[in-house]
A and B are shown apart, each in its own frame.
Chain A
């Protein structure tokens, strides 16, 4: 019974990892690739680690697995956000099919600060600047 549960969980985890890597290979744009790896790989790694915790079935392993899963849930999203921000600032080419780019002209070129209405900002974005 426990073996069948471990088989099911690890199969779903491996399939999610496979789909996220196929998406990483096939998507046309860096931002879409970051989006794919952020979600599917988090779920896949979580399922495989839960199957490991089910196999060992004691407190020390379960604590480590919960620590790894919580850490990954926090850090994969933060790392994806940091990388997407850096990729937008250094002007990585966007996919041709992108309809609208709400961030166009909102970043200061020198200080890399985002424009804000409430605080004093050095830039004044043009509303007609969107693609």
Chain B
């Protein structure tokens, strides 16, 4: 079993299953912070999928997009929590 087959048939399905589980939490989430942490987790899993995809296509340029996604994940979490806190302040 070569590395490409292994990544294709083992790693990508595990990551896809975890995307589905996190998305169920994103849809169910009883409160707004639940949805925010699920959104953060979706972006973090997409960083992993980008890393695996850059191995599969043998192009390291995709890692720049992964760095950009890490920035976006932190910015969105910080901004959402800031405005969530400000909303309660009368």
Contact = CB atoms under 8 A, between A and B. Distances in A.
Given A45-B48, A110-B89, A86 B41 contact: no
Given A3-B3, A14-B48, A71-B67, A86 B37 contact: no
Interface residues of A, number: 52
B33 A68 contact: no
B77 to A, nearest CB: 4
B9 to A, nearest CB: 12
Contacts, number: 154
Interface string A68-87: 10011001101110110111
Interface of A: 3, 6-7, 10-11, 13-15, 17-18, 20-22, 24-25, 30, 33-34, 37, 41, 44-45, 48-49, 51-52, 55-56, 60-61, 64-65, 67-68, 71-72, 75-76, 78-80, 82-83, 85-87, 89-90, 92-93, 110, 112
Interface of B: 2-3, 6-7, 10-11, 14-15, 17-19, 21-22, 24-25, 31, 33-34, 36-38, 40-41, 44-45, 47-48, 51-52, 54-55, 60, 63-64, 66-67, 70-71, 73-74, 77-78, 80-82, 84-85, 87-90
